[in-house]
C-alpha cells in the first residue's frame, strides 16, 4: 500500500510539473514575443531582378485617311530597388507588332518596337502604381521609306503581386519617334512628315528571381 501511494504521489507530482511548464510556454506564446513555430511575413518585397511577357494593342490617328491599329506581343526584363514604399527601377522591352493600315495605294505599318525606360512608383503592399519613361525605337514601313526610328516614350501602369514571385500588370505607353533627317516619311506621322506617334495598352506578367516577402525582424 505504501508503495502504491508513493507511485500515485510521484505521478501526480509529475503531472503538475508538466501542466505548469505547458502553461508557462502558452503564456510566453501569447506575450510580446511571437512563437517560433514558423516564419512570419510582413509586406511585399518589390526589389530584385524580374523578367516576363506581355501583349496588347496599339493605335495611331494619322492623316491621309490612314489609322494604323493592331496587336503586338513580346517580353521585358528589369530590376527594382525598394526603399520603404518607394520603388524605382529600370526596364527594357522588345515587341513584335502588326500595327498597320493601307489605302489609296499607300501602306503604313509599325513592324516592331521597344524601349529602355526608368520606372518610379509607390507600393501599397501587393499593389504597385508607377510612372515610366525613357528611350523608344521602332521599325516603320511607309511608301518610300522603311527603317528604324528613335525617340522617347512615356506612360504609367499598375502591377499586382499574385504570389511572392509572380505579378500581373496593366500599362499604357505613348511613343514619339523621329525619322532620320535625310529620310522622307509618308503618312505614318501625326501631322508631320518625319515622325511616328502611337499609343499602346498592354497586359503582362513578371517572374521575380529571388523575390518574396520581407520576414518579420
pLDDT at res. 179: 75
Q: Render pLDDT for 145-199 as a digit per residue (tens, 0 to 9).
A: 788 999 999 999 999 999 999 999 999 999 999 876 555 544 444 434 568 899 9
- Kindly indicate the confidence band of residue 33, based on its pLDDT and cuts at 50, 70 and 90: low
Contact 89, 79 (CB under 8 A): yes
Does CATH number 2.60.40.420 belong to domain 45-215?
no
Residue 64 has pLDDT above 80, yes or no: no
pLDDT at res. 192: 46
Question: Could you tell me the residue ranges of all domains in the chain?
Answer: 1-37, 45-215
Q: Is the CA virtual torsion 8, 14, 18, 23 positive or negative?
A: positive
pLDDT at res. 217: 44
pLDDT at res. 144: 64
pLDDT at res. 205: 98
Picking from 41, 66, 71, the residue whose alpha carbon sits closest to that of residue 54 is 71
Which positions ≥6 away from 35 have C-beta within 8 Å? 28, 29
Q: Render pLDDT for 84-140 as a digit per residue (tens, 0 to 9).
A: 999 999 999 999 999 998 887 788 899 999 999 999 999 999 999 999 999 999 998
Amino acid at each position: 500500500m505504501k508503495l502504491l501511494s508513493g507511485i500515485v504521489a510521484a505521478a501526480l507530482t509529475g503531472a503538475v510539473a508538466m501542466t505548469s511548464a505547458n502553461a508557462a510556454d502558452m503564456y510566453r506564446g501569447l506575450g510580446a514575443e511571437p512563437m517560433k513555430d514558423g516564419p512570419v511575413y510582413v509586406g511585399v518585397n518589390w526589389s530584385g531582378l524580374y523578367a516576363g511577357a506581355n501583349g496588347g494593342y496599339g493605335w495611331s490617328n494619322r492623316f491621309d485617311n490612314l489609322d494604323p491599329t493592331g496587336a503586338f506581343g513580346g517580353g521585358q526584363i528589369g530590376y527594382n530597388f525598394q526603399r520603404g514604399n518607394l520603388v524605382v527601377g529600370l526596364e527594357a522591352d522588345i515587341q513584335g507588332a502588326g500595327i498597320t493600315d493601307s489605302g489609296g495605294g499607300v501602306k503604313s505599318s509599325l513592324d516592331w518596337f521597344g524601349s529602355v525606360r526608368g520606372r518610379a512608383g509607390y507600393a501599397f503592399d501587393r499593389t504597385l502604381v508607377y510612372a515610366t519613361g525613357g528611350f523608344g525605337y521602332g521599325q516603320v514601313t511607309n511608301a518610300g521609306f522603311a527603317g528604324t526610328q528613335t525617340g522617347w516614350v512615356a506612360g504609367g501602369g499598375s502591377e499586382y503581386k499574385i504570389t511572392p514571385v509572380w505579378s500581373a500588370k496593366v500599362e499604357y505607353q505613348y511613343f514619339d519617334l523621329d525619322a532620320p533627317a535625310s529620310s522622307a516619311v509618308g503618312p505614318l506621322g501625326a501631322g508631320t512628315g518625319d515622325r511616328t506617334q502611337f499609343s499602346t495598352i498592354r497586359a503582362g506578367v513578371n517572374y521575380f528571381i529571388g523575390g518574396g516577402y520581407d520576414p518579420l525582424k
